Amino acid sequence: MDDLIPLFVKVGLTEQKAKDTVKNKKLAPTFERVILESGSVDGCSKETGNLLYFLASKITKDAEVHLPFLSRKIASGDLKTTEQVSAAIAFLDEKLPPIDEAAFNEEAGVGITVTPEQIKDAIASYVAENKSNIEENRYRTLGPSLAATKKLPELRWADGAAVKTELEAQYLALLGPKDERDAPQKKKKEPKPAPAAKSTVEEAKTVDPAATVKKMFFEGEISNLHKPGGNKQINPELMKKHLEATGGKVVTRFPPEPNGYLHIGHAKAINVNFGYAKAHNGITYLRYDDTNPEAEEEKYFTSILDTVRWLGFEPFKITYSSDYFQELYELAIKLIKKGLAYTCQCTGDEIAAHRGGENRGPRTACVHRDRPIEETLEQFQMMKDGRFKEGEITLRMKMDLENGNPQFWDLIAYRILYTPHHRTASQWCIYPTYDFTHCLVDSLENITHSLCTLEFRLSRESYYWLCDAVEVYKPVQWEYARLNVTNTVMSKRKILKMVNEHYVNGWDDPRLFTLVGIRRRGVPPEAINNFVAELGISLYNAQTDVIRLDNHTRDYLDRTAPRLMTILKPVKIVIENLPSDHLEMLTIPNKPRDPAMGEHTVPFTNTVYIEAADFREQDSPDYYRLAPGKTVGLLHVKCPITCTEVVKDADGNISEIRCRYENGEGVKKPKTYIHWVADSPKHGSPIKLDEIRLYEILFNHANPSDKTLVPEGYLSDINDNSISLETGAIAEIGLWDHLKDWIAKTGGKDLESARWQFIRNGYFCLDKDTELDIDAAKTGNVRDAAKKLVFNRTVTLKEDSSKDDAAVRKGGIIDTRKKRA
């Protein structure tokens, strides 16, 4: 559609705005049509072009039949302002040709000229009536006065700029120029009472998830959606019954197909549907669109509900499309009796050919389209009775083959499937399609706002057509951009292939962006909701960098996760000037500077373990950690250590590093602190961690499905280093205290909700492969109840490699806000 850009520029759009308009698949063809109908192909004034653009963006479906008439009215100069165009659209809404031009002209202000004298007199009357308030509050009343004067009946069709100029002139005459009395007054801030101390973990639990997305719904296009009762119906009685059923509440629905696991895109849909209703004190249904028994499994139903609740939302009611199979069947009969549906025995290839084929040629009606109503009713009954084979016959809607919208090309309403249904068993062998089911079940459930993603934009017209055709209440469908993130795929077909061919370890593999996979990786639901809220609700599809989700994850975990000293690749340190039985019990905060998070104790002995990466045999000026002859601090330990000797085994590998404890006088404060874990068998230190799984992005390219970037297909783009395992890691004994606290607070449910910051290594959670006897841990020793400990890295710390050491120089406190992924 890029060929439309020059045309749009001709009528006054800037080149950038023209490009943006072309991207809007709804607006661009409408704007092109408006330009053609107005005779402005060779250009027009910028003012006229702006009005044509306004018409194209504001025209309603019910007034669209009058688009040529309105376009010509703008071009002729009869409609000179956006107010007139809006009034004209409102007048013509749901009116059929011919147009009563006299009534139209009166309603749209055609031919009405408001002279400067009339403007001056109307403003003078308003100022006189409000003189005392204006004199008291001076220029602070100018804005409200302008809004009020524009609503005066005698100024309805006046030029807005002229009204503003005259009002300002009369204010000046009455008040004189602005002076210090009109300067904005700074409000004195009232001192806020100090909040009571509260744990950040506790705060996180008490936050209403819907509140984090509430701000999404009062800005932008979605804020302009109709109020319940504001969407016109083919029969006013339908709206009356609808409002009686809903009490005027907003009613939305989240309608997933139970044929797979939800992905990150569904998190946006859940937030939008539940969040919009919550923001307007409404309700939301969770409706399983279970019209395809061949693909549906109980595990998907269970997972979907669990995921919705995990994200923090509770459905008003859980329903199924199959609840309405009888009502849908009866509506299909009604459609047939109105001559708007027919049984079709064409093959799939024949239907595609009649729709123009791959070359998008002319569309033609099939031989069955004019089948008599009685014959169609008889065959539809035979379909229901199981007297045809699968694929032998369908019921199609008789729509409009000449319409440019493919969603009007006689869509299939019912097909035959002999697979037993998970809820209705073999009661039915005919099943309604999505195109037939979706809008009608929305109607039956009195949905006010059917919110869906942009790929359903073309379905909006067929959605409305079917509701009107069977004369039922018609909800409003509104589309927004879906959520796409980089370096992943979300197609169920593609993920299933990766699962079946063992590229990944199931649908909940933490490298996938299925919500069960993200959850298993330890990403908190609050981070997902905050991520969606930050992105807002756009009308244009785009890819979002996955780093933005990582940032929200870090922000949440930085506030809520306890810190733990954990060593991924241990190397042994022996402090030679401390006795072998040296023991100190050190008290360590679970989170620095947050007393509400608690504390725990760890032993400090003459033998500790540090990260192998924290030692280097060859020192350099830009290296600040341990090296021969160099001094470093140990986190939370009073005195630093200095390396005196490196001991190696027969193969030349470091077996231990010998150090001196600098507890004498005159020792300078070390530049760097490193974390450690003590060797103290009687305290069970260190704790052996059976497996730590370190995850990276699954695909190398931002869009692995892009054939221009990845010509050999998405499977060839899989990152070979997307997972690595550490099996020799150890941790300090504070782990047991943290697990005990977690079990006390959560009951031990959902292992992935046990999360930590492994100091200087990242954020981690327990994996479901962990073997932890929760019941035994509740009543006994957590240490004895843990048979196998498996951790997943949720996200790395924000770490700048050029300042790798500087991050831990100030007393060993890790500030993740100063690091990068």
Which residues carry out catalysis? 257, 482, 492
C-alpha to C-alpha distance for 730 and 740, rounded to whole angstroms:
19
Contacts of 246 (CB under 8 A, 6+ apart): 228, 446, 448
Q: Is the CB of residue 461 less than 8 Å from the CB of residue 405?
A: yes
Ramachandran quadrant class, 43 (left: phi over 0; alpha: psi -120 to 50; beta: rest): left
Q: Is the CB of residue 327 less than 8 Å from the CB of residue 444?
A: yes
**Mapped to the 3 state alphabet, what secondary structure does 449-478 carry?**
EEEEEHHHCCHHHHHHHHHHHCCCCCCEEE
H helix or E strand, kind and range, residue 254: strand 251-254
From 485, 549, 487, 483, select the one nearest 702 (Cα to Cα): 487
Looking at residue 299, its amino acid is: K
Residue whose entry in the numeric block shows the structure tokens 């327990």 = 766
* Dihedral of the alpha carbons of 630, 633, 634, 637, in degrees to the nearest 10: 130
* Dihedral of the alpha carbons of 56, 58, 60, 64, in degrees to the nearest 10: -20
C-alpha to C-alpha distance for 693 and 412, rounded to whole angstroms:
48
C-alpha to C-alpha distance for 734 and 688, rounded to whole angstroms:
13
* DSSP code of residue 542: -
Ramachandran quadrant class, 284 (left: phi over 0; alpha: psi -120 to 50; beta: rest): beta
Give SS3 for 200. Answer: helix
Ramachandran quadrant class, 368 (left: phi over 0; alpha: psi -120 to 50; beta: rest): alpha
Residue whose entry in the numeric block shows the structure tokens 């101390």 = 197
Contacts of 357 (CB under 8 A, 6+ apart): none
Strand ranges (E), 403-453: 412-416, 430-432, 449-453
CA distances (Å), origin 214, targets 454, 532, 680: 21, 11, 52
